[in-house]
Homo-oligomer: A and B are copies of this chain.
């Protein structure tokens, strides 16, 4: 080994430290339930424990592991705690983490087919597998005119869909000349904030996003969408993009695709369907009625990194017409030209996304699917949904609480009947306790508690304990004179 090599960790050292890091992760998963779910750290507490200047000389990996335990872990909110019920989950599993390790070690780039053919082909392959696994339209298969690609997040998927829509509607004029303030996008008032962010990023302008009203089940009213599109046409504007959500963030509401699809077709608007969270449930045929009408969609995405045991980031995004997407996003400087690309026989995924570089994310999807099999994945998803229904039953039976919507899947929205202040105080108390972590939203102008059951290791005991804690916190607040 030459002198230069000596600063690098050798393969032998990597093996040794690698075993210890694997053991650290395994032990972390075993002890995570003993840690406070939401970090108890105050702003600045973590930084104050770190040296102000970078080290001039290297140190052993053991020092980092020691600081991980001492400084970092107490500053984390533990998304893999089985009592993590906040936001949407971002669950992990062993096979996924190991495949991510393989991808990191291989360190290949999947920007073009030629830069690592297997990286592209495995991705195309598992994306085709998922079409079958989720009962998606055959038009999304790579063997049709469509195809799938892994994005980092549903935000990026929505942005790519919007860019394809923008160019389809303007005949590539926007791409060439710039936006002209006539293109309009639509989503329900319940759509994820990433849709608004995408509309702003893509230069359409926030004023050209119509937030369409919802019905009592918080699903988009198709007649309101129809009216908005017609009014915009009347004013000389161009309806170009509609997002429908299967499983909204606030309440898991499902927009009615069978009614929305024909409206989009009539106006030539691109229909993007966002099933970031709920998409995983479509592994189970009994839930596929929720995606009825998906054959109208121009694009669709769901996040295995939420509920399908695949560590972040991994968003699966399909389009029905891959040429429309590639036209909006392709760029080919001389230094990326190669014979395979010129032949037209291969997929270059750089033209399916905004960034150029890309990791080998298909490996972790492949690992998760193979480890669990379709039946194993269904088993886990059904267990979570059954727990959510059980919890919903307990809430509905309690006179002090009300269920805000009947939970279609694994998200339970409810509130104490004592009003917003009580609900806020219940949440703050529970989250500060470190025993569980839930989050909130506002529906019909009322503060609503959200409890989502999707962490890999969440089982009945954690859900039972959560309900016990919620009731106890409320009782203490309402009856204990501590009502704020």
Contacts and interface: CB of A to CB of B under 8 A. Distances in A.
A39 B118 contact: yes
A204 to B, nearest CB: 5
Interface string A171-199: 00011111111010000000011101100
A466 to B, nearest CB: 17
Contacts of A104: 92, 96-97, 100-101, 311
Interface stretch (A50-58, A223-231, A288-296): A50-58
B118 A371 contact: no
A118 B411 CA distance: 27
A120 B123 CA distance: 31
Copies of this chain in its oligomeric complex:
2
Contacts of A197: 329, 331, 354, 356
A13 B87 CA distance: 30
A8 to B, nearest CB: 6
A370 B450 contact: no
Given A53-B129, A79-B108, A116-B76, A372 B14 contact: no
Contact of A43 (B329, B346, B375): B346
Contacts of A24: 102, 105
Q: Among A38, A156, A200, A372, find the residue whose CB has the most chain B CB atoms closer than 10 A.
A: A200
Nearest to A126: B54
Contact of A355 (B30, B156, B205, B374): B156
Contacts of A14: 22, 25-26, 29, 94, 97-98
A216 interface: no
Interface in A138-164: 152-153, 155-156, 159, 163
A201 B54 CA distance: 37
Contact of A335 (B29, B370, B440): B440
A245 to B, nearest CB: 13
A21 interface: yes
A17 B313 CA distance: 22
Interface stretch (A60-68, A260-268, A389-397, A474-482): A60-68
Nearest to A184: B178
A137 interface: no
Nearest to A65: B102
Q: Among A24, A25, A80, A369, find the residue whose CB has the most chain B CB atoms closer than 10 A.
A: A25
Q: Ordered nearest first, which 4 A-B pairs have the shortest CB separation?
A: A203-B203, A178-B205, A75-B118, A9-B94
Given A72-B122, A194-B355, A201-B201, 12 more contacts: A2-B459, A7-B380, A8-B380, A9-B95, A14-B26, A50-B125, A61-B95, A64-B99, A68-B102, A71-B118, A176-B206, A176-B207
21 contacts: A7-B376, A8-B94, A8-B457, A11-B30, A12-B26, A14-B26, A43-B113, A54-B130, A54-B374, A55-B373, A79-B107, A79-B109, A90-B357, A96-B104, A100-B104, A155-B357, A163-B201, A193-B332, A193-B333, A249-B333, A313-B355
